[in-house]
Chain A
Amino acid sequence: MLNVIWAVIMIISVVCGIITGRISEVSYAAINGGKAAVELCISLLGSICFWSGIMKITEKCGLTALIGKLCRPLIALLFPGLKANSSAASAITMNISANLLGLGDAATPLGIEAMKCLQEINNDKSTVSNYMVTFIVMNTASIQLLPTTIAAIRAEHGAASPMDILPAVLLSSACSLIVGLLAAAIGNIRYIRKHCHGALKQPI
């Protein structure tokens, strides 16, 4: 999917740049885009390592297991059939708690860990499983409780009360998360039906 999207974005940019006469800007962006990515990675390196370190402490002292226990009903609802004490379930719960706390940089390595655990129990290694669909869609919708970065930018521009957007952010997050999960679930149910249908047909 990303293969197609990436190619389309690149080609449209060049064609559009030629038509609008902004090809020199496009050329500049093509040469400097990689540099921007490296700069971003270097600035992220410190905080990712830092949060990975802090998260290791929480893991060793059993805090992860505690949060996992609190999240169990939610996991059972979103990932039916996934064993509550499996390594996949614990990585998912840690990813959820890091996301809730707004530790985006910590959530990513935990999410990657969860994906690796889910891949181990995946029947078709080249295609995402239903669990992975639910998990990734959940991660593409923001579940952060406190939008601290945005409040900081708002404060910089002289907002009367930078955090006054919080109720609106939470409402919008919750609603769009529910819509995303429903869309994922509908696709998952259709996939199961198609699969079961095929399985029934084969012996005949």
Chain B
Amino acid sequence: MTNFTVYIIPVIIALFIAAGLIKKVPVFDSFIDGAKSGIPTIISILPTLIGLITAVEMFKASGALDMLTAALLPVTDFLGLPAEAVPMALLRPISGSGSIALLNNILGNCGPDSFAGRTASVLCGASETTFYTISVYCGAVGIKKTRHILAASLISDAASAFFSALAVRLFFS
């Protein structure tokens, strides 16, 4: 399965370029044209990321994340989430790179094939960086009134935590 997955990205790239050649598209010129548009995208995202990543780093450093994890223990117990995976449920909606670092940490402490390790992996794969997505997409068109987007997304994230623990129980016990 692992061997199979390493083929996916290179094969997709080759297929796309082959499709371009068949349709007689100037592939390299098109590539350069598209790649240029990536630069302003990154620059427009940078200020948002500086604000959010700094906030998350400060939140972690102050010990507030640990306290929040402890305070939420009754809720997460109810959702069936193992204690070691709780920080993942909290950090996943806030920071993509942060949750990758955290997954590394949890797998190192609990082992990749433990219940907590598997739940953290599934949770990390089954949800997205909610706050980043909302701020980037709304920021791109200059909208500040987001109505119920955050509420609906956070409901979805809570569901993701619940279903991740449930799915791991279902498939591995």
Total A-B pairs, Cβ < 8 A = 348
Residues of B within 8 A of A26 (CB): 58, 61-62
Interface-lining segment among A69-77, A78-86, A152-160: A152-160
Picked from A16, A51, A128, A141, the residue with its CB within 8 Å of the CB of B145 is A128
Contact A101 B12 (CB under 8 A): yes
Proximity string of chain A (130-165) to chain B, C-beta cutoff 8 Å, 1 when within and 0 when not: 001101110111101011111101111111111111
Known: A53-B32, A112-B140, A172-B123. A184 touches B59 (CB 8 A): no
**Measured between alpha carbons, how far is A137 from B166 in the docked complex, in Å?**
22
How large, as a class, is the contact surface on chain B?
A: 35 or more
The reply to whether B163 and A171 form a contact with Cβ atoms under 8 Å apart is yes
Would you call B156 and A16 a contact (CB within 8 A)?
no
A17 pairs with B63, CB closer than 8 A: yes
Q: Which of A27-45 contact B (CB under 8 A)?
A: 28-30, 32-34, 36-38, 40-41, 44-45
Residue of A nearest to B39 (CB): A49
Contact of A139 among B52, B137, B166, B171 (CB under 8 A): B137
A-chain residues with CB within 8 Å of residue B129 when the two chains form the complex: 140
The answer to whether A112 and B137 touch across the interface, beta carbons within 8 angstroms, is yes
Number of interface residues of A (CB under 8 A): 105
Contact status A10-B155, CB under 8 Å: no
Q: Is the CB of A57 within 8 A of B112?
A: no
In the complex, which residues 116-170 of chain B have their Cβ closer than 8 Å to any Cβ of chain A?
Answer: 117-118, 121-131, 133-138, 140-141, 143-153, 155-157, 159-160, 163-164, 166-168, 170
Q: Which residues of B contact A (CB under 8 A)?
A: 1-2, 5, 8-9, 12-13, 16-17, 19-20, 22-23, 25, 27, 30-39, 41-42, 45-46, 49-64, 67, 93, 97, 100, 103-104, 107-108, 111-113, 117-118, 121-131, 133-138, 140-141, 143-153, 155-157, 159-160, 163-164, 166-168, 170-172
